[in-house]
Amino acid sequence: MSSKRDVLITEVALRDGSHAIAHQYTVDQVTRVAKALDEANVPYIEVSHGDGLAGSSLQYGLSRTNEMELIEAAVAVCKQAKIAILLLPGIGTIEELKEAANLGVKMARIATHVTEADVSAQHIAKSKELGLETVGFLMMSHMAPTETLVEQAKLMESYGADVVYVVDSAGALLPHEARERIRALKQHLQIDIGFHGHNNLSLAMANTLVAIEEGATRIDGSVRCLGAGAGNTQTEVLVSVLDRLGIATGIDIYKMMDLAEEIVAPILQAPQEITRDSLVLGYAGVYSSFLLHAKRAAKTFNIDSRDILIELGKRKVVGGQEDMIVDVAAEIAKRNLEAAVR
């Protein structure tokens, strides 16, 4: 396998995939997945709670295992892959960032809502000071016009980010919208551009390929589609497609296929597919990590989870507002009851 890489892939199943299994990763699971990814020559592996460092909470979901233990385990078994973490300012702090760096993390991805890049300045600066490769991660990128996205990305660049990502957190972007956003960032930024997709409208691969066509060189994938909602761009499929296109990733295709089938598939609580709920996430433009929360609330209030997700989309709820899910569910249940009484 050539060491040349035209595109650098970050595997996110050990972070984004945490949402899909209700943050129940064990040290053994993370060790086996990280070791196999490292042996497949994946350059970056992201490990943390689904909502980033310090995400374990009643609001976002309690982790089975302390994420620092998971990070330490991944670092210990990787010989070439660099371990990355996600941090959302307001959830994770500088202290967690320092702790992760001390454990051997090499890349920090600092994530904000697409219109709130200004809250990342301190964390991006500290990440650079700690010697970490630093990524600006603009979530829910479908919710802002392209001009706004460019302004926010330029802020992250000015704070010192090495890369800025267009993040399709809801899996709501259509290919022409992904193309427009990546093209604009490529025109206005001097740093690398990345793309993180979700497959809620079955467009993760199409959007990823469009992003690469427009100059994105940092791409996220989740092996076996193990990510929030319907998952992310499926890594082993992406690597195969890029190889067919003559775009080098440096990743061993057979080893990716094998680890997807033999190591990751048994971790999945159910196959990652586009269910009616995950489809509604993309259709309504709702944060992919809301899926399990909405399904639980629907069961509690005996209502249709799709009604909850559609209402959240209408209210333009964003990551960090998980508490709204139960509020919305309660309102819908009350409305249904009143209608039935009438």
- 176 given a catalytic annotation: no
Where residue 263 falls (left for φ over 0; alpha for ψ -120 to 50; beta otherwise) is alpha
Most distant CA pair in the chain: distance in Å? 69
Tell me if 287 is assigned to a ligand binding site.
yes
Q: Out of 19, 113, 123, 293, which one is annotated catalytic?
A: 19
Tell me if 198 is assigned to a ligand binding site.
yes
Tell me if 141 is assigned to a ligand binding site.
no
Tell me if 277 is assigned to a ligand binding site.
no
Tell me if 2 is assigned to a ligand binding site.
no
**Cβ atoms within 10 Å of 198's Cβ, excluding its own:** 32
Contacts of 133 (CB under 8 A, 6+ apart): 82, 106, 107, 108, 162, 163
Tell me if 169 is assigned to a ligand binding site.
yes
Contacts of 97 (CB under 8 A, 6+ apart): 53, 85, 87, 108, 123, 126, 127, 130
Contacts of 244 (CB under 8 A, 6+ apart): none
As a whole number of angstroms, the distance between CA 165 and CA 108 comes to 13
What are residue 84's DSSP bridge partners? 46, 107
- Residues annotated in a binding site for substrate: 15-16, 169, 196, 287
Binding site, annotated residues for Mn(2+): 16, 196, 198
Active-site residues, by number, are 19
Residues of the binding site:
15-16, 169, 196, 198, 287
